[in-house]
């Protein structure tokens, strides 16, 4: 393809020279395809303005009522969102059975140039989707990957290439013209990789797919396009809200990061004696510095970093007639103050404390006169020490349990189909952060991807890892030697009753029981949860919920002591699904090959996730049961095409737990220890087909 000359006729068909037509309406292009993309953009704009005027005269208020009003009801519209909403409204959303652009083309197509007709036809064939930025070529454009259809496009867009970053996710309409692809519309707010997993999961659930690619035609369905916009705007709102919440920064003990400087009066003649007394405090030792001797207080090991040899708790030095003691939390400061007053006694007199929180320290760092990139690099020996620290950190990180991964390690998450997308999103966040650091502070993230057996391009599409990750070694669980609990689980406030009866060892931890309940009830483990018993709440530890105790080492047997004892399990703090759990009876330990947990009986299907709690579920059933309801069609699509509230099959649930064991058919004779005991299960013979 040759470059378009300034004096050549413009390809848009206007009859004008390129320099007097589309070249003057766009950024200078750096390649022939880039120039063609600019010409296409130059044609789109006046054509869209003409169509919008025509549509407003033809449809009036119906144009807005077709979709904009519904979106504004969820979240107020922002002016710059119309850069995406207007092309979507003109080319994608049916108004009176077809998009306005299609009606415009049918009515006025004969008056348009061939170039303009092709412009309209290509825009009508476009679609809105979630696109991941894979590569950025400044001054040219972006390589995008469609997270739903798994298609790749290189879009020529000079402005887009200036602000985009690798791995960010954008909501955009990509238009394929002959020989070039462009952005036909773009939402002004991109999402970071971690934030994008929520709308992507919601849209995939709506489409009824977990990993596989979605066809482009299915994605063009008006209800799907509206749902994509809805979930995207909610995710942007959540991202904005989180960005405004002050970040809780802690030290390695988990205490809030507060730089504390305690001032003690010490007479000059007493300072040598006080220096010696400070070394009698556990962990205190003298170190020399350019400004004189100082006492460093430390302890062996580190709570947050298992590979660290020690933890520095504070530093003390003399300045004039004052002893200054610096720590990074109020707790450490209070502890060290008591130790100093106990060791030095009358030689020291406490005066005051200066405190600066994390936010103040960040503001001070941002107010430094020179940008980070222009500051002098540290000496080579300091850079070497920093690189060594990075190596040690990431070497242990892959086997460290992380809250962001639900308490699992990166190695465990890489081997889990459910956790792998969260791990990939986290690694992409790291990748973005590392690229913004100076070379001597930067870690090569490709090594981390390789260590976990992941391909950043492949896994984002929901495919399997590039190579199988190293298997996680797990110790085999011993056969149950504890009593078997028979429990009932029932959703509160739902009629008719949704309930299950199951059997499970009494030494099961609450964390393991949570995972069992998710399968037993039919939830997807997409939200937070907690247990309540005896006025105490147990769940995942969270700095924002300090009242919650850990669930990892609390067993059912310590909370349910006798038949009739209860606890409450709450799932999804937004919808607030509360489950009453009651101990019905205790069975003796099973010495045989019984498999647990085991669902004995139950009734009715679990409500769909994110349906709005009890009241939302009641409304959903009402709409599904009334084909005349205006929301009926959309609701059927939202639940994946069908939903049977009466559906329940204990055997189907049990096969989720015991897929390699032959389960007795309902009604068939079984060999059991007693009338209340669990049926014996026989392992499947090698090569035998599994019963489905």
pLDDT at residue 466 above 60? no
Q: What is the pLDDT of residue 73?
A: 62
Nearest CA to 447 out of 409, 400, 385, 398 is that of 398
How confident is the model at residue 461, as a pLDDT?
38
Q: DSSP labels for 485-549?
A: EEEEEEETT-SS--EEEEEEETT-BHHHHHHHHHHHHT--S-S-EEEEETTEEEES--TT-TTPE
Q: What is the layout of strands, in order, in the sheet containing 598-603?
A: 549-550, 536-539, 529-533, 566-571, 577-587, 484-491, 499-505, 598-603
- When pLDDT is cut at 50, 70 and 90, the band that residue 392 belongs to is confident
Sign of CA dihedral 39, 42, 48, 50: negative
Tokens of 361: 């320290």
pLDDT in tens, 240-274: 877 665 556 678 888 888 889 999 999 989 999 99
641 to each of 208, 618, 675, how far by Cα in Å? 9, 18, 41
Q: Which residue has the higher pLDDT, 548 or 588?
A: 548
Q: What's the whole-number average pLDDT of the chain?
A: 78
Return the pLDDT at 685.
45
Q: In this structure, are residues 501 and 486 in contact, taking their beta carbons and an 8 Å threshold? A: yes
Whole-number percent of the chain with pLDDT over 70: 76
Does 211 have pLDDT greater than 50?
A: yes
Q: Give every CB contact of residue 689 below 8 A, 6+ residues apart in sequence.
A: none
Interatomic CA distance for residues 635 and 629, integer angstroms: 10
689 vs 692: CA distance, rounded Å: 9
Q: In what order do the strands lie in the sheet with 292-300?
A: 284-289, 292-300, 310-319, 322-327, 258-265, 349-357
CB 562 within 8 Å of CB 570: no
Q: Which of 598, 594, 619 is nearest to 608 (CA)?
A: 619
Whether the per-residue pLDDT at 100 is higher than 80: the answer is: yes
Task: Look at residue 591 in the predicted model and tell me its pLDDT.
Answer: 56
- Average pLDDT score over residue span 217-225: 86
Q: What pLDDT shows up at residue 49?
A: 85
Contact indicator for 181, 156 with CB cutoff of 8 Å: yes
Q: Of 605, 604, 645, 514, which Cα lies nearest the Cα of 568?
A: 514
Residue 621 has pLDDT above 60, yes or no: yes
Q: How large is the average pLDDT for residues 438-446? A: 77
Write the pLDDT tens digit of every residue in 53-94. 888 888 876 666 656 666 666 667 777 788 888 888 888 888
Coil vs helix vs strand at 592: coil
Alpha carbon distance 251, 245 (integer Å): 19
Q: What mean pLDDT is predicted for residues 37-62?
A: 78
CB 596 within 8 A of CB 478: no
Determine if the pTM surpasses 0.95.
Answer: no
Distance separating alpha carbons of residues 95 and 101, to the nearest angstrom: 10
Task: Tell me the pLDDT band of 39, cut-offs 50, 70 and 90.
Answer: low
The torsion angles phi and psi of 250, rounded to 5 degrees, stand at -125, 165
Show the tokens assigned to 307: 């590979």
Phi, psi of 475 (to 5 degrees): -75, 140
pLDDT-based confidence at 339, cuts 50/70/90?
A: very high
pLDDT tens, position by position, 562-601: 888 899 999 988 888 999 999 998 887 765 555 788 899 9
User: Coil, strand, or helix at residue 52?
Assistant: helix
Q: Report, as an integer, the average pLDDT of 280-291.
A: 82
Q: Is the model more confident about 661 or about 637?
A: 637
Flag whether pLDDT at 182 surpasses 60. yes
* Res. 677: pLDDT tops 50: no
Residues with Cβ within 8 Å of residue 325, at least 6 apart in sequence: 261, 262, 264, 314, 315, 316, 333, 336, 337, 340
pLDDT at 462 over 60: no
> What is the token pair recorded at 185?
């519309």
Taking the mean position of all CA atoms in its chain, how far away is CA 46? 40
pLDDT at 479: 39
Out of 136-140, 215-219, 335-339, 558-562, give the one with best mean pLDDT. 335-339
Higher pLDDT, 433 or 689: 433
Give the SS3 label for residue 670.
Answer: coil
Give pLDDT, residue 131.
93
What are the residues whose beta carbons fall under 8 Å from the beta carbon of 247, sequence distance 6 or more?
358
**pLDDT score for 477:** 38
Record the tokens describing residue 207, joined without a space. Answer: 């489409």
- Note the pLDDT tens digit of each residue in 522-539: 998 888 899 999 888 999
- What phi-psi label fits residue 278: left (phi over 0), alpha (psi between -120 and 50 degrees) or beta? alpha
At residue 1 the predicted structure's pLDDT band, cuts being 50, 70 and 90, is very low
Average pLDDT over residues 602-624: 91
* Rounded Cα–Cα distance for residues 613 and 625 (Å): 18
| pLDDT computed for residue 690 by the predictor | 44
682, pLDDT greater than 60 = no
């Amino acid at each position: 393809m040759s470059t378009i000359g300034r004096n050549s006729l413009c390809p848009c068909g206007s009859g004008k020279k390129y320099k007097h037509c589309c070249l003057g309406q766009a950024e200078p292009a750096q390649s022939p395809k880039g120039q063609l993309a600019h010409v296409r953009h130059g044609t789109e704009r006046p054509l869209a303005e003409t169509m919008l005027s025509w549509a407003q005269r033809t449809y009036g208020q119906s144009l807005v009522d077709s979709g904009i009003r519904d979106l504004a009801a969820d979240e107020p519209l922002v002016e710059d969102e119309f850069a995406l909403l207007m092309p979507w409204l003109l080319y994608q959303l049916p108004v009176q059975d077809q998009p306005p652009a299609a009606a415009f083309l049918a009515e006025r197509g004969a008056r348009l140039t061939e170039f303009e007709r092709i412009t309209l036809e290509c825009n009508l064939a476009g679609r809105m989707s979630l696109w991941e930025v894979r590569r950025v070529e400044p001054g040219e454009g972006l390589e995008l990957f469609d997270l739903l259809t798994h298609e790749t496009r290189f879009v020529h867009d000079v402005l887009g290439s200036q602000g985009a970053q690798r791995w960010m996710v954008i909501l955009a309409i990509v238009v394929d013209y002959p020989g070039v692809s462009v952005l036909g519309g773009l939402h002004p707010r991109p999402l970071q990789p971690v934030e994008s997993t929520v709308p992507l999961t919601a849209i995939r659930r709506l489409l009824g797919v977990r990993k596989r690619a979605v066809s482009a035609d299915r994605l063009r369905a008006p209800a799907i396009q509206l749902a994509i916009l809805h979930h995207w705007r909610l995710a942007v709102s959540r991202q904005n809200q989180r960005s405004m919440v002050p970040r809780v920064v802690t030290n390695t003990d988990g205490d809030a990061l507060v730089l504390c400087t305690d001032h003690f009066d010490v007479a000059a003649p007493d300072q040598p004696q006080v220096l010696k007394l400070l070394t009698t405090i556990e962990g205190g030792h003298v170190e020399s510095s350019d400004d004189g001797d100082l006492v460093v207080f430390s302890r062996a090991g580190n709570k947050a970093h298992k590979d660290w040899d020690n933890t520095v708790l504070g530093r003390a030095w003399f300045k004039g007639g004052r002893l200054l003691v610096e720590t990074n939390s109020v707790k450490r400061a209070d502890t060290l103050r008591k130790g100093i007053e106990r060791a030095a006694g009358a030689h020291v007199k406490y005066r005051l404390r200066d405190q600066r929180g994390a936010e103040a320290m960040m503001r001070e760092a941002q107010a430094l006169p020179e940008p980070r990139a222009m500051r002098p690099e540290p000496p080579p020996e300091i850079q070497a020490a920093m690189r060594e620290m990075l190596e040690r950190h990431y070497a242990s990180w892959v086997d460290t349990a992380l809250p962001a991964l639900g308490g699992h390690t990166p190695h465990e998450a890489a081997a889990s189909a459910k956790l792998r997308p969260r791990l990939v999103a986290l690694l992409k966040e790291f990748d973005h952060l590392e690229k913004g650091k100076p070379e001597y502070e930067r870690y090569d993230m490709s090594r981390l991807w390789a260590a976990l057996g992941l391909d950043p391009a492949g896994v984002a599409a929901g495919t399997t890892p590039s190579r199988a990750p190293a298997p996680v070694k797990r110790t085999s669980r011993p056969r149950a030697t504890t009593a078997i609990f028979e429990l009932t689980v029932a959703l509160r406030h739902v009629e008719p009753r949704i309930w299950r009866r199951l059997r499970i060892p009494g030494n099961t931890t609450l964390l393991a029981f949570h995972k069992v309940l998710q399968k037993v009830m039919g939830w997807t483990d997409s939200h937070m949860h907690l247990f309540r018993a005896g006025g105490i709440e147990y769940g995942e530890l969270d700095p924002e919920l300090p009242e919650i105790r850990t669930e990892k080492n609390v067993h059912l047997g310590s909370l349910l002591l006798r038949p009739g004892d209860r606890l409450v399990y709450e799932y999804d703090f937004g919808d607030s699904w509360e489950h009453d759990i009651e101990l019905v009876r205790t069975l003796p330990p099973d010495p045989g090959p019984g498999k647990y947990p085991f669902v004995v009986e139950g009734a009715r299907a679990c409500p769909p996730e994110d349906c709005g709690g009890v009241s939302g579920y009641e409304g959903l059933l009402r709409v599904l049961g009334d084909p005349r309801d205006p929301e009926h069609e959309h609701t059927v699509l939202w639940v994946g095409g069908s939903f049977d509230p009466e559906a329940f099959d204990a055997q189907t649930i049990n096969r989720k737990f015991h897929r390699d064991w032959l389960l007795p058919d309902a009604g068939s004779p079984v060999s059991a220890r007693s009338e209340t005991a669990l049926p014996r299960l026989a392992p499947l013979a090698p090569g035998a087909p599994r019963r489905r």
